Amino acid sequence: MGVWGTGIFEDDTACDIRGHYQDCIGDGRSGPEATRWILNEYQDLLADSRDAGVIWLALAAVQWKHGRLEQDTLHRALHVIDSGSDLSRWEADSEDRAARKSALKELRAQITSPQPAEKNVARRVMAECRLKRGDLLVYTLGSGTKSIFRVIDRFTDQGGTYPVCEILDWKGSEIPAKAAFKTLCIMRSRADYKHTITQLMICRFDEESPRVQKLDFRTKPAQKESGPSVILWKHLDKFLAEWFQLD
């Protein structure tokens, strides 16, 4: 994972800051208490100017969104933007650097505008995953086409536990016989598209959805968990159509 785009929250550290801040508010802490907790938790990264910039930008963005932007956070975020220090992480004259510069400009305009009223944050409900390695799940897409996922691992972070799955190279309307699973290979994302994906971590996976059927047997996964692509449950159909041409 790491950094996957030029947006303020297209960065693992920035996403972690946002999630921790929201969790602190959801747990009943004040804005300053949440900020102090984060600065203490991330003090090692704050010692590095490159990482510190990401932290202050993310903190300013999430504080503003929830009507709790603090003056010190604002000043530090503006210094990161105006000094150009954050842009040093991007290759000179690249499209990514230009896109990041645009994102910083938008953030500056946002955090220097009147912020909204304070917003309450609901306490986070931890995601649960009862699935085990080798479990087979028949997933019905919105079109009615069925696909088969096999669980290869589970991943746990501050949001809970999620399944990491590989997709079997099959689609249809009738579930194949048990014996047929021995010959099914894993599906790879389309060869002409960006990079190859063979495993997904599905966040907020709904095991109780009527579109998911868990089979009563398991098969051995073809791979171990290794840098899966992360996708939200609500975006799964769109992702499968774009990357695997499943629709």
- Nearest CA to 14 out of 41, 66, 69, 52 is that of 52
Point out which residues pair with 155 in neighbouring strands: 162
- Considering Cα of 33, then 36, then 42, then 48, what sign does the dihedral take? positive
pLDDT digits over 134-172, tens only? 999 999 999 999 999 999 999 987 778 999 999 999 999
In the structure, what pLDDT confidence band is assigned to residue 116 with cuts at 50, 70 and 90?
A: very high
**Which residues contact residue 92 at a Cβ distance below 8 angstroms, ignoring those fewer than 6 apart?**
none
C-alpha Rg value of the chain to the nearest Å: 21
pLDDT digits over 180-223, tens only? 998 999 999 998 877 899 999 998 899 899 999 999 999 999 99
pLDDT for the residue numbered 192? 87
In this model, does residue 65 exceed pLDDT 80?
Answer: yes
pLDDT for the residue numbered 122? 78
In this model, does residue 59 exceed pLDDT 50?
Answer: yes
In the structure, what pLDDT confidence band is assigned to residue 49 with cuts at 50, 70 and 90?
A: confident
In this model, does residue 128 exceed pLDDT 90?
Answer: no
In this model, does residue 16 exceed pLDDT 80?
Answer: yes
In the structure, what pLDDT confidence band is assigned to residue 53 with cuts at 50, 70 and 90?
A: very high
Whole-Å CA distances, 233 to 10, 92, 127, 143: 18, 36, 12, 16
For 94-120, b/e burial (b = at least 16 CB within 10 A) is eeebeebbebbeebbeebeeebeeeee
pLDDT for the residue numbered 51? 87
In this model, does residue 1 exceed pLDDT 70?
Answer: no
